[in-house]
Amino acid sequence: MLLLLLWLVFFWLLALASLILFNFGLARFFERLVPPQGRFIEVDGVRLHVVDSGVKPGQIGPPLLFLHGLLGQLNHFSFALTALFPERRVVLLDRPGSGFSQAAPSQSLAAQADLAAKVIALLDLDKPLVVGHSFGGAVALALALDHPDSVGGLALVAPLTHFFAPPQVLAGLGMHNGLARWFGAWTLGPLVALTRVGLTQRMVFAPDSQIAGFWTRAGGFLALRPSPMIAAARELRVLPKELAGMTARYAALTVPAGVLFGAGDVVLDPKAQGPAFCAKAPKAELTVIDGGHMLPMTQPKATESFIRTILARLDAA
């Protein structure tokens, strides 16, 4: 009986090791399909991936800093949006733990805002307009609240401004135990995600059509690796308490801000996230258009127009 038990343990460990190795190889395969676009910088010991168009003759200010959403990466912006601003310096940042950036000791909004403020200083960006999509909108808000002198304005696209119950497709990311998060991400997490890609993509894009090239040119494959799954789980864990504290501070926002929502967004409720924020933030204006959650990819022209309205407000200030 003991020998049988030992054999069962051996085969279980062998299967576990095989699954981990498979996921490691799968992650490397996805990274070959979607390689890094930019360069790496180190901020407070965290290696971050950035794409920076650089300082060029004839550019006008302020520059643009883009922060992506949960389980996203900078390709969400470079896919169709950022090329529409040739006259500006454009900086795209893979948030900690996402894309090709290293995870930070803390994945809290405040910690990510601190890193973003240091990126702004390191790259010598002069009060950029910070464009935050979805969860990146919450990071942008934390940045403006905690580091107001670093930010010229906010362009928030389908932003997370108030706490919400994550949709069912993200339920597996709600694990609070660090070992459980690691175990889930490195064993069945990628395989389960692969079986749900159709459902997830339809939900995230609805009611807009799914874009061609999402998995490669827009970097969708990168979200199916263990490391972004762990980072997203850590972000969701600290979110309720942090957002509760932030919402009480929205009235203190001093920078011009705009909010863009798609009326059909099924990821974040436009009515719960948009008007509630604009009612508290004195310089915030709300714009609602037809569309869903992934506006930087599905509605790049409308998103560009929205961003330019905020830029015009900054130029007039």
229 near 173, Cβ under 8 Å? Answer: yes
Q: What is the pLDDT of residue 230?
A: 93
CA 309 to chain centre: 23
Q: What is the pLDDT of residue 116?
A: 98
Contacts of 260 by beta carbon, 8 Å cutoff, 6+ apart: 155, 156, 157, 158, 287, 288, 289, 295, 302, 303, 306
Q: What is the pLDDT of residue 25?
A: 92
Q: What is the pLDDT of residue 124?
A: 97
Return the SS3 of 213: coil
pLDDT mean for each 10 residues of the chain (317 residues): 66 77 92 97 98 94 96 97 97 98 96 98 97 98 97 98 73 64 82 77 88 93 94 89 93 96 95 95 96 97 98 87
In the chain the domains, ranked by start, together with CATH numbers, are 37-164+241-316 (3.40.50.1820)
Q: What is the pLDDT of residue 165?
A: 74
Q: Which amino acid is at 7?
A: W
Q: How far apart are CA 15 and CA 13, in angstroms?
A: 5
